[in-house]
Each structure stands twice: as C-alpha cells, then as structure tokens.
Amino acid sequence: MELNLVMLGPPGAGKGTQARQLRRKWNIPHISTGAMLREAVAAGTPLGREVAVIMEGGGLVDDDVITRVVRDRLSQPDTRAGFLLDGFPRTVRQAESLDRMVADRAPLVIIDVVLTEAEVVRRLASRMVCAECGANAVGEGTTCHDCGGPLAPRADDREQVVLNRLKVYREQTEPLVQYYGTRRTYCRIDGACLPDDVTMQIIKAVESHT
C-alpha cells in the first residue's frame, strides 16, 4: 500500500526525529528539504550559495526553488511505495503545488505535531546538529547518535533567529493547518510528550486514517 506522509509543526517540534523513526517502520524514504538544502550549502552549489544567507537569517527559501527540488525528488523510483516529507510544504502555495504533484497517487496523510512557542524556544536552546550527517540532537553529548560525527550548535538556532523563525512560521506556515485541517487524513499530534510516545501517537493516527 502506498503511504504518503507530510510532517507539519513549528521548528523544534521533533519532526526530523519522528521522521527517522517512521521511515524505518514503513520503509519509505524520509525526504527532508532542510537536509537537502544544507547539503547544497555545504557543497557550495549555486543553489547552496543562494539559500545560505536566507537559512542563516531564519527565512524561507523561495517557493519556486524548493518546489522544483521536491518535484525532482518525488520522481525518483524509491518513492513509488510512498514518502515522508519533512519541511515541505511550508506555505499554502507550496501545498497547492504538492497536491498537483501527487494528484494521481494515494492521498496525503497530514501529521501536525503541535508545540507551544515557549517549549519551542526551550528545545532549540539545547539543540545541536551533526557536522557529518546533519541529524539534530537535543540535550547533552558531543557525538551524533546516528553516525558518531561531531555535534555543534545550529547557526539558525540563535535566540533572535529562533524568534524570527517562529514569526515566519505563524505568518506563512500556520495557514497550512486551515488548508489541510478539514481533510479526513489530517492528524493532530501532541508534540510535548516523550519522543517514543509521540511516535506511537503518529502510528495510531496514521493507521486509523488510511
């Protein structure tokens, strides 16, 4: 059965952590637009140079650019049984583009991980990123739990940048809740729970909506 998931939620809600767990359960690719863009920045590609300044300031990459990146990725053979999108769509315009991309595929299942702004700020203050694989980590430690690479603070987790990212989220991304909220496949998840409990909530919600 084809399973197409979209992860929504504010920065720091744990979308990437949950996506890595869920991809193993359902054996579908985890497509993180943030990771793809960070790889482009690290490689110094034209796209990477274009988005580096935007990402470091907490802004959103142009709709047309990121939509082109996602369309190319969803055309790859490994997405035929489904996919898990993390970081796209972030605007209603992107969501409309995604609907057109998947018009002949199984319905999108929307996972909305909900978290208060106070908890977002607290989490991001302790978040690190792996210099090798780009995985996020929260709490103590200096090495990545996925690949063993070194951890460092994320450039886009500085306090002023976090506040800007939350402002951008409220203005541009929260309207997605209205866009998707009336669909039968929309699932609202409490992101303040322990990560394993959040995972179980998501699994139960997806199983009840597909």
Question: What DSSP string describes 131-187?
Answer: TTT--EEESS-SB-TTT-PBEEE-GGGSHHHHHHHHHHIIIIITHHHHHHTTSTTEE
Q: Which domains does the chain have, with CATH numbers?
A: 3-115+177-209 (3.40.50.300)
User: CA-CA distances (angstroms) from residue 199 to 18, 23, 158, 206?
Assistant: 6, 11, 28, 11
- Residue 165 annotated in active site: yes
- For residue 156, what are its two tokens? 């886009």
Catalytic residue among 71, 158, 165, 167: 165
Catalytic residue among 23, 38, 123, 154: 154
- Cα separation of 150 and 174, whole Å? 33
- Residue 154 annotated in active site: yes
- Cα separation of 114 and 68, whole Å? 28
Could you list the pLDDT tens digit for every one of the 210 residues in the chain?
899 999 998 888 888 889 889 999 999 999 988 777 777 788 787 877 887 887 777 776 788 888 888 888 898 899 999 999 998 998 899 999 999 999 999 999 999 999 888 888 777 766 677 877 777 665 556 788 778 888 776 655 566 777 787 888 888 778 899 999 999 999 999 999 999 999 999 999 999 987
- For residue 32, what are its two tokens? 């993180």
Residue 177 one-letter amino acid: V
